[in-house]
Chain A
Amino acid sequence: MEDMYHADRAMSTQQDTKISAKGVQVYYADNHAIKDVNVEIADKTVTAFIGPSGCGKSTFLRCLNRMNDTIDTCRVEGDILLDGEDIYDPKVDPVQLRAKVGMVFQKPNPFPKSIYDNVAYGPKIHGLARNKAELDEIVEKSLRKAALWNEAKDRLNAPGTGLSGGQQQRLCIARAIATAPEVLLMDEPCSALDPIATAQVEELIDELRQSFSVVIVTHSMQQAARVSQKTAFFHLGNLVEYDDTDKIFTNPEDSRTESYISGRIG
């Protein structure tokens, strides 16, 4: 009943729904990792997933672009709709899905190739550029969007792995947005970065909101408060509370949310 309530809350917001999850259950072999999660993720919004370690927020995030498919023992039930289409439909090819739903990982993981090749890889395999000039343009646009262009424009052929941690993560973001996704999933994108790099990435996330729906998993409640408009609190595989970020941090409905926010659990 509680879940129904949250679903209603999400529906009542003004923005369009981008992703809608209904009754999602995730099992790792016998371990029930996600229990009946219902959530509506709005377009052009930053949605933060918070919660203690092992609460299932990363697992749920990886369900949204079917990255869990690579884990043999993982089983997903329920419906996840992207623009009203079930992404777990047998007719859906996860490769096509992932071009629409990009992902940035916890640890910066650029390919051991040049900066240019890192960004150009996605457009190349999806055939987004007809020629070199178009590809150059995509690379430049993506790097500009990722606020890396000024630092990288003179060394596009230098290896991406030679950048600093924060630059590497922005390179990964550039790589993810180069395929023109509609949704950008970020799994603790700042946990391996220092405060300055974190600030840069957070600023970037705020700008990305103009073009994408961004879903970010974070351990830092301050970060969630700073960057997101909506926040979902996960606990032990349940979605406990999902609401406007301001509301969650100032006036949470659930006592568990309040405990977590004030540092009593987690």
Chain B
Amino acid sequence: MKTSLLKLDTRTKKRNAAEARFKAYGLTAIIIAMLALLILLTSVLGNGLSSFRQTFITLNVELVEDKLDKSGVRDLEVMSKVTTISYAPLLRDALIAELDERGIENPLSNRDLGDMISKEAAATVRNRVLANLDLVGQTITFDVLASGRIDAFFKGDVTMESAVLDSNTSPEALTIAQQLADVGVIETKFNWNFFVWPDASVQRPEAAGLGVAILGSLYMMIVVLVLALPIGVASSIYLEEFAPKNRWTDLIEVNISNLAAVPSIVYGILGLAIFINFMEFNQSSPLVGGLVLTLMTLPTIIISTRAALKSVPPSIRDAALGVGASKMQSVFHHVLPLAAPGILTGTIIGLAQALGETAPLLLIGMVAFVREYPAAYTPEAGLFGEASTALPVQVFNWTQRSDPAFVERASGAIITLLVFLLIMNAVAIYLRRRFERRW
């Protein structure tokens, strides 16, 4: 029987249908993934972008000598005894004066009016005064934080309706805030301090920042890079190029692959047992965090380095050996430079993974609330030994707090973390392009 090329037979039809189905599955999977990413990004950006802006009140504060320095000796030690409690009324009085001057009606009690200013503001003013005692007695213009509720009002998270039910603010306060904003006394602007300030207590979300978390993460990444890169690359080179292929190296290989799949919290327990309980390093310190993350990152680096070394064509090794290079010369002069882009990419991917890791850090105590920059973050003390926190842990911490202002902060921290990860991946791609050699 003669068949026509123009007519598809059943077999071909079936095959074509199977192919079409497979393509459809793939496309669906990609669309679902893109949608999920889109939803994630919109939700995080929608919640978190506002955390980079903050509401400030501009106040002309009279620094009354009677309140701040009764004795009038301008002695730092004496004035240090005056707590923020004495500063808060000065700020409130400045606000009242501002309202009077602008002719804004004020139905609020003094206490409620004071609550419009962040509790952090008094501390800010106090620090400025203690830094320059000559300010006492003068009237100085300060840009102080508005309270979290006022801030949220200008970001649209608090409304007149929700304020009725809110014990921390009232519609009257919001009306005053709106009027002050109209005349430019209250202003919402970019908040660089979000990246500088340390964490703040539950009562003052407006003052919470990522400073300590970013530093802690940075120090941990330094520890990981300094330890994991040389150890990982050296062991990969040994295993790949020098080690005899026998049962023992097979066993090591299998175990490295297994280690890469070990849940990260297990590394946390290991770190707790070894570095804190046995070696007695400070808990919550970037040193311990970095060591734990190093253990976690090593398998990733080893596996990717070995893959990179394997992908160097054997003809290059032959060529080097052929002209009388030793094994080590052939590896370091020829194989390693060719594998470098792969090794660097693997390392940065490993670092990025470590940067976002939370679980092991919880177990070594990095979940601690760090209100102050650790004392050791000064040149004379060790950098890595003091209690600190890390970016992902800060996210974890803030999401646990009940004040809705922390939701915004947590999303802001997530955005910051994602930006760091994006930068690291971009560097990985750049290095790969830059150093890749073709032959």
Contact = CB atoms under 8 A, between A and B. Distances in A.
Interface residues of B, number: 22
B7 interface: no
A98 B323 contact: yes
Contact of B323 (A70, A122, A161): A122
Given A72-B244, A112-B439, A161-B439, A98 B316 contact: no
Contacts of A110: 319, 439
A132 B217 CA distance: 48
A95 B326 contact: yes
Contact of A179 (B245, B324, B334): B324
A46 interface: no
Nearest to B318: A105
Given A112-B437, A121-B333, A161-B439, A107 B322 contact: no
Interface string A26-62: 0000000000000000000000000000000000000
Nearest to B323: A122
B245 A103 contact: no
Contact of A109 (B245, B318, B324, B326): B318
Interface string A157-196: 0000100000000001001101100000000000000000
B261 interface: no
A102 B437 contact: no
Among B320, B324, B334, B439, the one with the most A-chain Cβ atoms within 10 Å of its Cβ is B324
A109 B338 contact: no
A98 B323 CA distance: 6
A112 B315 CA distance: 12
Interface string B317-341: 1111111111001000110001000
B317 to A, nearest CB: 8
Contacts of B329: 125
Interface of B is mostly: helix
A72 B319 CA distance: 18
B244 A98 contact: no
A104 B323 CA distance: 9
A96 interface: yes
Contacts of A70: 317, 321
A96 B324 contact: yes
Contacts of A121: 320, 323, 325, 333
Nearest to B244: A72
A95 B325 contact: yes
Contact of A112 (B317, B322, B323, B338): B338
A105 B319 contact: yes
Given A72-B245, A112-B437, A161-B439, A105 B334 contact: no
A109 B316 contact: yes
Interface of A: 65, 67, 70, 72, 95-96, 98-99, 102-105, 107, 109-112, 121-122, 125-126, 161, 172, 175-176, 178-179
12 contacts: A67-B318, A95-B326, A96-B324, A98-B322, A105-B315, A105-B322, A109-B315, A121-B325, A125-B323, A161-B439, A172-B319, A179-B324
Given A102-B323, A105-B318, A125-B329, 12 more contacts: A70-B321, A95-B324, A95-B325, A99-B323, A109-B315, A109-B318, A111-B316, A111-B319, A121-B323, A122-B325, A125-B325, A175-B319
